[in-house]
Structure 1
Amino acid sequence: MSVALFTLGGTISMAGSHRLTGDDLTAAVPGLDRLGHQVEIQDVEKIPSGDLTAGRLLEVVDAASKAVTAGAAGVVVTQGTDTLEESAFLADLVWPHPQPLVFTGAMRNPTLAGPDGPANLLAALRVACSPAARDLGVLVVFQEEIHAARWVRKTHSTSTATFISPNTGPIGHVVEDRVRVLTRPPRLDGVQGSAEPAELENIRVALYTVTMDDDGVLLRGLADTHQGLVVAGFGAGHVPAKLAPVLGELAARIPVVLTSRTGGGSVLRGTYHAPGSETDLLRRGLIDAGFLDPYKARILLRLLLATGGLTELGCFAE
């Protein structure tokens, strides 16, 4: 049985002006011959992850799905780390298979001392092949840690330990070449229906981070140009009092999702009651995102708008 590898560029494949192919990447992995599965390589395109689009990612997920249908034990995708957490979560929302779909990459390119790409790729391939990783949805593997796509975050600009899951920690590890899954979070239902890449590209969802003394002037006219808005509020979901009516007016026209800008923890529902508090904002029509961070909330809202799945907005707070 084989495991499929899709390469999308990024730091893991940057060797100066030369971009490494999947064959180059696997040739640099020690011990790959002991994987026990043939690696079927598909080089997609070599672009920075900041230039990836949701539509392009859905095309890769579709190709990965076809590889699994054809018999692959699992799939690994390599890409740049800048948008990896968003790519993995988007894939998780539409991935229908029990076989693992694993995202990985590198923080240190192959020209530097101690590049982390080979170790990350080997660990990711082991997870993709492992029966223990089935039925866990899309995963992110870095530093021999296994993270659920729903919770993982990039938290440091240069550290090789940049990927963590602030609210849960990793769900498993790769130890002595063995995949050890320590906890199995239940898979949530994915987004129903399908979004064509072209349809998704036409959906605009803004992300607005609230700051001290924010008057909301940048939000003027947003409902005329965008189909949705994600608000990254203070703490447990708070904004300045003068911003609350502005957000309420927007929520009367387009879906507005309330998240926390902190990077960890949940939006509250009924602890604070002052103007601009979470209780006030939810009463004005904003949607509680629960533990979902702003970047993933934007991915989910955009996909729901593209598939006509707005009746599923309650899944934000699960």
Structure 2
Amino acid sequence: MSARIAVLATGGTIASVATDHGVVATRTAGSLVDGLGIADVEVETIDLMTIGSYRMTLEHLRRISDAVADLLSRTDRPVDGIVITHGTDTMEETAILLDLVHDDPRPVVLTGAQRAGDAEAGDGPRNLTDAVRVAASAEARDHGVVIVFDGAVLPARGTRKLHTEALHAFGSVNGTELGTVGPGGVHLVADIIRPKPLPRPDSRLDVTRVDLVESYPGADDALLHAAVRAGATGIVLAGTGLGNTNPQIVAAATELVSEGIALVVSTRVPEGPVRGVYGSGGGADLTAAGIPCASGLPASQVRILLALWLSQNRGADMSALAGVVASHVYLDN
């Protein structure tokens, strides 16, 4: 019996065509699947939304999560896997949200394209074909949510967009590649240990504001306070190096934590751990203030983890947050 795969379309470059006002997402899931040459897989198409992922909000991400949960819980015409076509700009955010809550052995695969659907030598058809192959593969079960792009199969956790235009656009900050997919089939060579899933998001996520503040030479505390004034209940500090800032930011962060704002330390560096090593404004001062460090996830994904947790745990103390961070990031990379 052939595998049944649902292709859930959300827009992005893979669904885009050139217009007088720039490249715009317009194509349906059915048009993306037509002519792919995957007759040995039963494909169901669903159009959830058709937008560029640079326009997405937490509500859009939550709606995608809801759609995935509905498909996986369906008892009539059950699916063996799900493919989500998505814009590359924020694919890493949607991928981590889905993986944080994924509690099913069936694979969920995200893919997209770097070249528009009407571009010569577009990469969308190949990526979508590869994604369907992975979703239909028994080998991909129990691997959680993955990103399939340019022949690579990558874990959702720690994977980020690394190039604005190159076809090989995604890579893992942990150096983790699960395997490859191509004309020769699906070949997965690595397993990952996945933590216990978190509760699925609800509409509270839509209105949970978590801001991302980066440190740089001469940075002060203005952006931290501005974020809180704008309604942020959480902030991810993307420090330099191992997660360093400066004395003014440390003082402001310590004050905000005492006022109930949730903070997590990340780094602006693509690879390597986040650790409280340096004093005098460095990460050691932040950890001393009770602010947890998050290694192995890009700051963009740490933000999603914090938003999901805050949407369900308003008023919880920083020690509880530290436990969640420790459980859902890689600390030994």
Task: Name the TM-score, length of structure 1 as normaliser.
Answer: 0.92
Partner residue, 1:60: 64
SS of the residue aligned with 2:186? strand
Give runs of aligned pairs for residues 1-318 of structure 1, distance below 5 A: 1-17=3-19, 19-29=26-36, 31-33=37-39, 36-70=40-74, 71-192=78-199, 194-197=200-203, 199-220=204-225, 222-224=227-229, 225-253=231-259, 254-269=261-276, 271-272=277-278, 274-308=279-313, 310=316, 311-317=320-326, 318=329
User: Which region of structure 1 is more displaced relative to structure 2, 125-134 or 167-176?
Assistant: 167-176
Q: Is the 8 A contact 2:62 2:205 kept in 1?
A: no
Specify the code of the residue in structure 2 equivalent to 1:66: D
Q: Is the 8 A contact 2:221 2:249 kept in 1?
A: yes
- For residues 175 and 78 of structure 1, the distance between their equivalents in structure 2, rounded to whole angstroms, comes to 18
- For residues 201 and 63 of structure 1, the distance between their equivalents in structure 2, rounded to whole angstroms, comes to 15
Specify the code of the residue in structure 2 equivalent to 1:207: L
Percent identical residues: 33
- For residues 69 and 218 of structure 1, the distance between their equivalents in structure 2, rounded to whole angstroms, comes to 42
SS of the residue aligned with 2:11? coil
- For residues 291 and 67 of structure 2, the distance between their equivalents in structure 1, rounded to whole angstroms, comes to 36
SS of the residue aligned with 1:280? helix
SS of the residue aligned with 2:49? coil
RMSD: 1.7
Task: Name the TM-score, length of structure 2 as normaliser.
Answer: 0.88
CA deviations 1:221-256 (Å, max 9, x no partner) are 543421111000000011123322111111222111
Deviation beyond 6 Å, 4+ runs, structure 1:
none
The Cα shift of 1:52 comes to: 1.9
SS of the residue aligned with 1:41? strand
Q: Is the 8 A contact 2:173 2:298 kept in 1?
A: no
Gaps of 5+ in 1: none
The Cα shift of 1:21 comes to: 1.4
Q: Is the 8 A contact 2:173 2:297 kept in 1?
A: no
The Cα shift of 1:178 comes to: 1.4
SS of the residue aligned with 1:288? coil
Q: Is the 8 A contact 1:55 1:196 kept in 2?
A: no
The Cα shift of 1:312 comes to: 4.9
CA deviations 1:19-75 (Å, max 9, x no partner) are 22122111142x322xx2210000112111122222222222222223233310100
- For residues 71 and 305 of structure 2, the distance between their equivalents in structure 1, rounded to whole angstroms, comes to 25
Q: Is the 8 A contact 2:14 2:87 kept in 1?
A: yes
Q: Is the 8 A contact 1:98 1:135 kept in 2?
A: yes
- For residues 226 and 26 of structure 2, the distance between their equivalents in structure 1, rounded to whole angstroms, comes to 43
Gaps of 5+ in 2: 20-24
